[in-house]
Structure 1
Amino acid sequence: MEKLGIAITGSGSAVPKNTLTNEAMTQLVETSDEWIATRTGIRQRRLALPSESLSMLATTAASQAIASAGIKATDLDLILLATSTPDDLFGTACQIQAQLGATKAVAFDLTAACSGFVFGLVTASQYIKTGVYQNVLLIGADILSRWVDWEDRRTCVLFGDGAGAVVLQGNQSDRLLGFSLKSDGTQNHYLNLAYAPSAQELLSDVNITKGHYQPITMNGKEVYRFAVQKVPEIIDKALFQANLTVDQIDWLILHQANQRIIDSVAQRLNIPENKVISNLANYGNTSAASIPLALDEAVRQGKIKQNDIIATSGFGAGLTWGAAIFQWGR
C-alpha cells in the first residue's frame, strides 16, 4: 500500500558554544540587560566562531534528527536546507549531503527567511504526498551574526546562530493536518538584508556592478504590528483546514523572534501559557533555525510526546508568514 501521508519522525539541533549575554552586549552598544529583556525576552544568544560554518551546525543537527528517526543517511531521498545565510551563495545543502554521506539524496536550499522552516515543511511534505520521495531531511539553519551591524542596537541585540532539523517520512496516515502560507512583497522594505552594489567600469563603454550585501535593517515597530495581526489569522486558517479547534492544540511553537509577539499571539488565540514553547531567552532570534531548535529541545525534555498536536508559525522577511498544524511522531 502506498504511503502518501507524512509523519515527522525525528528531530535534532545544534548551536555554537560561544555565548554573548546581554551584560556583555553593553560593551558593544549603549543598552542594558533590562532594556533588551523587557522589550524582547532575550537574555543571551549563541554566536558562531570564525571557524564554524553553517554546514557544520546543520550537519550536526541533521545527524541527530536522522538517528532520532531510526534511519541512516543513505536512506534519505531529499535534503532541504531552509537558510538565508549559506556558506556558499550557490547553496550549502549539497555540502551537507556530502558531509552526511547521504549519497542517494538530492539536495537544495530554500530561502524564506524566518518563515523558512514552515515553508520547507510544506514543500517537503508535497514530495512525499505525491509519492516521489519517502524520506526527507528538512533543516532550518542560519548564522545571522555575520550579517548584523554590531553598532546598530535596534538589531544586533536580537539575533543568534543555530540549526534545527527534522526527518519527514511517508506514512499511512497524514500527520500534517493543515497549513497556510502567505507572502506580501509590498512590505519587503520593513526587514531586509539588501544587495548593496558598487559601480565598476570594465571598459569605457561597459559598466557593471560589484556585488555586496548591506547588514540587516529592520523597522521593528512595523514587523511587530505585522506579526501580532497576521500570525493568529494564519494559525486560524491552518486550524480550519485541519478541522481542529484551538483547544485541541497541545503545543504552540512560534518563530522565536520576540517574547512579546509570542505572548500576544497566544493571548489572541486563547492558548494558555503552559502550552507555549519558548526558548528565545537562551538563543535569541535564530531565523529559520528557531522553530526546529525549540521543537527538538521540547522533545528531548520530554514535553512533546507521541501524538501531541502542535501548531507552529513562522514569520519574517519577504514579508512572509505561514502556519502548519502537525501531530508529532509516527
Structure 2
Amino acid sequence: MAGTAVADGVVALALDTSEADEALRILEKQATRQTITAEDWNRLFATKPYQWLKAREAAMGRPLTDEDFQRFLLSPEAATQRTEWASTLAAMKQADMARLATGVLAWLPAGASIHAQVFPEIKPQRNSFVWKKSAPAEGDSDGPAIFLAVSHQSQDQFENTVAHECHHIGLASLDSRQEELQARLPANVRRAVHWLSAFGEGAAMLAAAGAERHPHWEDDANTRARWDGDMQHFATDLAAIQQLLLDILDGTLTQDGDIMKRAAPFWGDAQGAWYTVGYEMAVLVERRFGRAAFNECLLDPRKLLELYNQEAQEANARGARLATWSPDVLKRLRDG
C-alpha cells in the first residue's frame, strides 16, 4: 500500500511500497504452502510501482514481462531473501518523509520544489535509479519516481539515498532559471558549463549527510575508508576534469558521445571525481561563504569553482596545499 506522503505545494513526496508489499505477500503464501492465485498476481501487477517499472524497462529496451517477474519471485533465490526483504521494507516504512524533504530544501536555492514518488521495489535487477515518464497517463503524477531495490540496508541508508536523489530532483525544478543564465553563452562555454553540473553529485552528498557528518556516515567502515582514500586523489582528479573542460572550450571535444566517454570515468563504479571533487568544493564553499552563497552556486556552477578557488588560495597562503583551478579556465568559462 502507499506509505507516508507530504504535500504542501513546494514538496510532494510520497512513499509507495505497494509492489513490495504484494510481492512479500506472495512469498509468504509460498513459504506457508498456500495456493498463489491469479488474483494475487493481478494485485501485484496492478500496483503503480510495478506498472512504472515495466514502462521504464521497456523504455530502456529490455522489456519485463509478467511471466519473467513470476519466475523471478518464485525462484529459490527469492525465497531465501524473503525475511531480509521484509525487515528492510519495514525499516523503510519508518522513514520520516516530511522531515527528509524539508531538510533537502534547505540545501537548494529559493523557489525549488520537490515533487517525487519513492518506490521501494522487489525486482530482478538490484539497481536503483530515478526515472520520469515522458508522457504520463491520465491520473499519473508528472513527478519522477525514485526506484530503490529492496536489499539489505538500514533506515538511515534508505533516507540518505532518498535525500540525495531529492536534491537532484529539486535542482532540476530550477532548470529554466539555469538555462536563462546560460542562454547567451557561446556554444562551447555553454557545453562546458553543462558538464560542470555533474559536480551536483558532490553537492547532493553534502545535502543528504549534512555539514557536520561524514558523507558516508550511515555506511560501514570499509565504505567510509574507500571514500577517504578516493579523497586523497583530489588534486589529480581536479586536473583531469580541468583538462576535459579545456578540451571542450578549445573545441577539441564537441560531440556529446565523445565528451561522455571522457567524462564517464569521473562517475566511477560507485563514486568518482564528480562526487569527491564536487563534495570537497561544496563543503569548503558552504563553510566559508555560507549556505545562501553555496545555493547560488547550484544555479551557476561556475561560481562554485570561483568561490572554491578564493577559499583555496586563502588557505594556501596560510600553509595549506590545495589544488586550484586555472585562472585561464575560470576566465574562459566566465567570458567565453
TM interval, shorter chain, is under 0.3
Report the TM-score, using the length of structure 2 for normalisation. Answer: 0.26
Structure exhibiting the larger radius of gyration computed from Cα positions? 2
| Structure ranking higher in strand proportion | 1
- The higher relative CO (CA closer than 8 Å, separation ≥ 6) is in 1
